[in-house]
Amino acid sequence: ITDLWGIYSKPVPADSRELWTLFVQCSCITAVIGGLFYNWMFASLEYSRHLSVAVAVSFSLLLLLALLLVHPARCVFSMIMPTLGTKQGRKLLFSTCVMIAVVNITPNIISNIKTILQVIKCICKNSSDSLLNSTALLEKVSWEFGDAIQETIQSVYKPMNGHFRFSLFQNSSLIYQKMHLAGEKISREFLSVEVLVKDSIRVANRLAAGLFVLYLCFESTWYLKNYLTNLRFDNFYITKKLERLAVDGKAAHLLVGSPKKLLRPTGLKLSWEEVVLCLVQAMLVTVALTLMLVVVAMDHFAFSVADTAVRKAAQFSVVPITLHIKYKVSAGWIMPFLFKVFGFPSEELLLGDFDRNYNHHLNFSSAHCRISPPTPPNPSVLLVLGLLFCILYSTVFLETYARRLCRRIAASFFQSREEERVLYLYRKLSRRHRKE
């Protein structure tokens, strides 16, 4: 592995064997990166298959040429890998989490809301049907009430039809049509909102992902540029070359009593500034996790409400309605007196009481309603999001070590510059020791 890395980090291959080895290495790297790039575009960013293949192949060919012909490009590309463990890599991972939530969780929430609206529509339709059917009962009541009056009063006294005239505007087809149009309008509005939200978040996520990838390349290039041009940049590590230089100059005491800012690149020790930075980044990741948990909770809540609505609608019992009609007339002493005055027969006025009950049932649900079943949350999506956030938290504490790895990569590609940086740090420590 050391020999392969030495060939890969050389500015120019020494012979044809090293050239062929470098070509095989670069080909393997570009093949793997091209496959990952295609999967990222097609699965995460939801580009078309043909566009993803074309872009991935073109990117792989350009990357192969850059790695073979440009030595600094190999260094920058190698530093991109540990840079994924820094803040920019976390942004890229969070962008992936957002896209997974948009593609899998948001449609689930909207589907369950549609199910709830379908239940409400079914209840409204069946209750209106039942109420319209109850008008026939009212017509029956009015007709029987009129018959009772006719049977009570003789036709000589009441030469007219005693039935009540009961009329009702009952156009059920018009009511159903209006309810259907209202339901279709709500469905179209929900569909348009769903499409708008998904398209907007998809476009924003694509732009953010592209910017993050470009920034990864920019950050690696910026680090390499500062490493090559600024001797003080990221130069506070006790390396083996610095120890060897101190031993040769009989100044090993400089490293024994070295300032606290000097660290060993292979050690696990973190400076106080690095610890504070890790805690701040962990808080930001926690905020992002909280927002994602809110979306997941909304998914579970929508499913719970939809499932309860469907089950309760199926369990709705028939509501009995009883119409009690009680009618009683008392003539008193006025009617017999009038009969005597006007010469009518003085027989007793017979007015019977009317006391009857009419039963009806209201139905709020029906087996003929088209209600889509509620969609439960996908546990695999939750598992993927959980794993991604575990990676996000791990990158918070690995960011410092990723930056140290970037320094080691740059030092292996530009060894002469690393010697100049070590010499600069040694002279700086010597001057500080003489002043003390």
pLDDT in tens, 331-345: 555 556 555 555 555
The pLDDT-based confidence of 167 (bands split at 50, 70, 90) is low
Res. 403: pLDDT tops 70: yes
270 in a structural domain? no
Lowest mean pLDDT among 14-28, 131-145, 333-347: 333-347
What are residue 102's DSSP bridge partners? none
pLDDT attached to residue 155: 46
Question: Is residue 8 a part of any domain in this protein?
Answer: yes
Tell me, yes or no, whether 294 and 430 share the same domain.
yes
Tell me which of 187 and 373 has the higher pLDDT: 373
Residues 301 and 403 in one domain: yes
Residues 199 and 344 placed together within one structural domain of the fold: no
Overall average pLDDT of the 101-117 stretch: 83
Judgement on whether residues 114 and 60 belong to the same structural domain of the protein: no
Residues 123 and 190 in one domain: yes
Residues 51 and 89 in one domain: no
- Within this chain, do residues 140 and 213 fall inside the same structural domain, yes or no? yes
Domain for residue 246, yes or no? no
Q: Which of 69, 97, 117 is the last residue of a domain?
A: 69
Give the residue-averaged pLDDT of 340-369. 62
* Each residue's pLDDT tens digit, 59-73: 999 999 998 888 888
pLDDT band at 28 (very low <50, low <70, confident <90, very high): very high
* Per-residue tokens: 203: 């476009």
Residue 398 to residues 23, 77, 196, 213, 391, Cα–Cα distance (Å): 31, 19, 38, 19, 10
Do 192 and 311 fall into the same domain?
Answer: yes
The pLDDT-based confidence of 184 (bands split at 50, 70, 90) is confident
Q: Which residue has the higher pLDDT, 349 or 425?
A: 425
Q: What is the band of 103 on the pLDDT scale with cuts at 50, 70, 90?
A: confident
Q: What is the rounded CA–CA span in Å between residue 388 and residue 403?
A: 21
Domain's final residue, options 329, 362, 395: 362
Instruction: For residues 163 and 217, state if they share a domain.
Output: yes
Indicate whether 54 and 104 sit together in one domain.
no
Domain check: are 350 and 373 in the same one? no
Same domain, 119 and 170: yes
Q: For residues 293 and 120, which has the higher predicted lDDT (pLDDT)?
A: 293
Distance CA(9)–CA(3), nearest Å, equals: 10
Helix/strand/coil (H, E, C) string of 120-175? HHHHHHHHHHHHHHHHHHHHHHHHHHHHHHHHHCCCCCCCCCCCCCCCCCCCHHHH
Between 402 and 433, the more confident residue is 402
Tell me if 405 is assigned to some domain.
yes
User: Does residue 181 belong to any structural domain of this protein?
Assistant: yes
Tell me if 404 is assigned to some domain.
Answer: yes
Domain presence at residue 417: yes
Residue whose C-alpha is closest to residue 24's, from 74, 81, 71, 64? 64
What's the total number of domains in the chain? Answer: 3
pLDDT tens string 258-317 = 555 666 666 666 667 777 878 888 888 899 889 989 999 999 999 999 888 888 777 766
CB 30 within 8 A of CB 190: no
Domain that holds residue 132: 84-231+278-316+368-435
